Chains A and B, each alone.
Chain A
Amino acid sequence: MSTKKEEHPLKKVCIICAKGSIEDVYATLVMANGAVMEGIEAKVFFTFFGLDAITKKQMNKLHTSTVGNPAMRMPGGLPFPTLLGTLPGIEAGVSAMMKKQMEALDMPPVDEFLDMITAGGGEIYACKLAADMFKLEKKDLCDHVIDIITIGAFYELAGGENTQIIFT
């Protein structure tokens, strides 16, 4: 048996984003943008709370949860008490700080990030079931959304060799 490892470079990634917190949405956006920057086809499917990332009214107002997140730290590294996270304004403050730190690393706001991904040929889709559930129509969604489709239709787009589906 040959010991030479055969490499099959990725050709396509299909990313499903079901959550609407800053970190979940940005994980999706960074992966999608990173793919198109490497010449890998990227298709993104936003569903459930992930729809906030492509809903005009919400997309640039995402928050990160300050409750029940054991990895959350105070500036300086001390643990962030969950009770503190429940106080009014704390979540907004922490979210604003995260966005500021990301901006310093040249991570754009959500709308601009979607501009970048689609400029590179990435495709954005919304989940029909979730859109129906949240009573959202195409006009409520960002213009980069190609269509509101079923998961079945998304799987049809996910065919082909060396394709991966990633769920964030």
Chain B
Amino acid sequence: MATKNYAGVAIDVNDEGYLTDPAQWTKEVAAELAKEEEIELTDKHYEVLQFLREETAKGSPLTIRKVGKSGIVDIKGLYELFPGGPLKKSSRIAGIDKPSSCV
């Protein structure tokens, strides 16, 4: 585990760069995490991030299928928002654990 500086705050991250404490997450931190993935966050991105955080807080495992049925964005749209890692990148930017599902 290490500490990294995001938006002027020291944030705990694991070896793969995922936040270890979701409570340290803020929108500003998300914007900087996104920059590392070469993504510029829009309102749509934040809606997805919020959804991922809420579902995780409820303890339900995440899948791209679930995001696709959230009414926020379809799966194709999710790929467009987070190219090359719809669930992995979005989870990292949302400050939650690396997804553990296969779908």
The interface of chain A, by Cβ under 8 A from chain B, is: 30, 33-34, 36-39, 105-108, 112, 115-116, 119-121
Contacts and interface: CB of A to CB of B under 8 A. Distances in A.
A34 B63 CA distance: 11
Given A108-B65, A115-B75, A38 B102 contact: no
Contacts of A39: 83-85
Interface string B78-103: 01000111111000000000000111
Interface SS, B side: loop
B102 A116 contact: no
A119 B75 contact: yes
B85 A37 contact: yes
B9 to A, nearest CB: 29
12 contacts: A30-B102, A33-B103, A34-B103, A36-B79, A106-B63, A106-B65, A107-B103, A108-B103, A116-B103, A119-B75, A120-B79, A121-B79
B58 interface: no
B86 A120 contact: yes
B64 interface: yes
Contacts of A112: 65
Contacts, number: 46
A106 B103 CA distance: 7
Given A36-B79, A38-B88, A107-B103, 13 more contacts: A34-B102, A37-B64, A37-B85, A37-B86, A105-B101, A106-B61, A106-B66, A106-B103, A116-B75, A119-B75, A120-B75, A120-B79, A120-B86
A67 to B, nearest CB: 28
Contacts of B65: 106, 108, 112, 116
Given A30-B103, A108-B65, A108-B103, A37 B87 contact: yes
Q: In this complex, which of A33, A36, A105, A119 has the most chain B Cβ atoms within 10 angstroms of its Cβ?
A: A119
B68 A116 contact: yes
A116 B86 CA distance: 12
B74 interface: yes
A38 B98 CA distance: 12
